[in-house]
Amino acid sequence: MKKLVLLGSVLAASVLCAQDEVAKLALDNGLAAIPSDAAKLEEMVKAATPDYDKYATTPERVELGKYLYFEPRISKSGIISCNTCHNLALGGTDGVPASTGHLWTPNPHHLNAPTTLNSVFNSKQFWDGRAAHLADQAQGPIQADPEMAASPELVEQRVNSMPGYVEMFKKAYGDDVKITFDLVASTIGVFERTLVTPSKFDKFLEGDDNALNADEKAGLKLFVEKGCTACHNGVVLGGTMQAFNVAKQYKFMDTGDFKGDENGMVKTPPLRNVELTAPYFHNGAIWDLDEAVKEMGSVQLGIEISDAEAASIVTFLKSLTGDLPAITYPAKFPASTKDTPKPALDYK
């Protein structure tokens, strides 16, 4: 009997050891968990937010930011909201190759909408990394003409014309608040900071060895061994600028005049919830995740990834599908008034 127990312990230790090895491998290669500890998470969010001191997270600001995120009236037409192209239930994306905005016009570079989920942890925002943080990013699509197409003045006039919003801004920032375009975008950023989606992958990295099953662990091991973590690392498995010569390496795709940043660098797409964010790549050219994995092996790593290997890596990638905090849809937007500038649909 004693022998049996001993044998059991040895087996358990060996399994534990094997499991630890994959988690250790992942951590050693720069993968990182979303902490389950709320205070630790908030510290990370703070560290990732250059303007945090100016726009610290409070429940009132998060609530207001949520309203503004879902608010179509901050677009010129009145019918496009942040959630149109960054649908929270579609992994923070829109599920189409190129985001389609005002007048049904696709993004001029035919760029695919990056996810807003976990985006606080991106080192840069936009495909070409031109925004340093969320508040800065949020100013872009609201103004971009083929997207929400609203001038800063229009956004300010709309919001200031609705007493319900003025009241919410006062609650969030004090009675002396001046509602500027900058503050609207920054408040959307405050809400976006909360869009963090922990998954079983995080439990695994934090030491729950059974949080991933054997197939998922095998996929994770392969993901590291093939070299994917060279770019897909950190807490969002991506989000940093990397060498990616669009013109050279992606010659088979129509990239318009998109060239990445001034050095030809492109932001590595974060991989959390990647199962939900097809189609893939900056131009949304590939719909199938297996195919995307093989394509990356070929153009970025110069290796061939077999069908079986791609399937295994995808099994791991699906473990990155996480859970948003429960989000109550805004009960009631503030009513427009006589002073609210009318929507402009600009029909052709």
Contacting residues toward a second copy, per CB under 8 A: 67, 70, 72-73, 77-79, 84, 87-91, 94-96, 98, 100, 103-104, 106, 275-276, 278, 287-288, 321, 323-324, 326-333, 335-336, 338, 342-343, 345, 347-348
Separation CA 300–CA 4 (nearest Å): 50
CA pair distance 323, 277, nearest whole angstrom: 15
**Shortest Å, Cβ 339 to a second copy:** 11
* Distance of closest approach, residue 154 Cβ to a second copy, in angstroms: 15
Tokens of 13: 């230790």
Q: How far is the CB of 199 from a second copy (least distance, A)?
A: 11
Return the number of the residue (84 or 312) whose C-beta is nearest a second copy: 84
Catalytic residue among 42, 63, 71, 147: 147
Structure tokens at 269: 């797409």
Task: Let me know if 13 is exposed, middle or buried by CB neighbors in 10 A (0-12, 13-18, 19+).
Answer: exposed
2/348 with CB nearer a second copy:
348
* Cβ distance to a second copy smaller for residue 208 or 275: 275
Least distance from a second copy to the Cβ atom of residue 293, Å: 14
CA–CA distance, 310 with 305 (Å, rounded to integer): 6
Cβ atoms within 10 Å of 14's Cβ, excluding its own: 10
Token pair of 166, please?
């003025």
Q: Which residues contact 150 (CB under 8 A, 6 or more apart)?
A: 74, 75, 76, 142, 143, 158
147 counts as catalytic? yes
| DSSP 8-state assignment for residue 43 | H
Nearest residue (CB) to a second copy, 206 versus 275: 275
Active-site residues, by number, are 147
